[in-house]
Amino acid sequence: MNFEEKTIATREIHKGRIIDVREDTVIMPDGSTALRELVAHHGGVGVIAVTEDRDVFMVSQYRIAARCMMLEIPAGKLEKGENDPEAAGRRELTEETGYEAKDFTYLGAYYATPGYCEEKLHLYLARNLTYKGQHLDEGEFLNVHKMKLDKLYEMVMNNEIIDAKTAIAILKAKAILG
């Protein structure tokens, strides 16, 4: 059964730099109405870049939402209207790690938290890497780490990776590369 909800009204709550927030009134499958808080976001892209030697380029940065340094794959936001996530992924990989990749394999698109957030994140596996030079955005502070894919896989299985996109990317890269 399809339980589609039809939006009949929208109340704008916040127009921000990274997110907008609104409250929609919807008609439910049983004809009743309900309110839905929704976060709008242009989406993002994440890249797991693996060398011939099974090294992976990871970044760690401070995430105030988690109040800790977090180990993640290189990633970034899409701009409004940007509809080429692979190009965005190539850009973010080079900006954050300095590497360019000959081969990009699509690992799918994922809703981060579909109960209230429109953010969809595209993931890629990057291979055949060449160093071109890192150039971080202004105000971007991060460390780059070279880590073994098998060590990262072990960290995911031991619940030591706490970023959802990073866990998916490592698990899928390990499944593809063995």
Residue 83 interacts with its own copies (CB under 8 A): yes or no? no
Do β-strands 44-49 and 120-131 pair in parallel, antiparallel, or remain unpaired? parallel
- Tokens for 49, please give them: 């870049």
Of 62 and 131, nearer to its own copies (C-beta) is 62
Residue 106 interacts with its own copies (CB under 8 A): yes or no? yes
Distance CA 5, CA 24 (A): 10
One residue of 8, 9, 10, 69 binding its own copies per CB under 8 A: 69
* Contact predicate 114/141, CB 8 Å: no
Of 16 and 133, nearer to its own copies (C-beta) is 16
One residue of 8, 63, 82, 103 binding its own copies per CB under 8 A: 63
- Looking at 12-20, 47-55, 79-87, 90-98, which segment touches its own copies (CB under 8 A)? 12-20
* Contact predicate 73/48, CB 8 Å: yes
Q: Which residues are catalytic?
A: 138
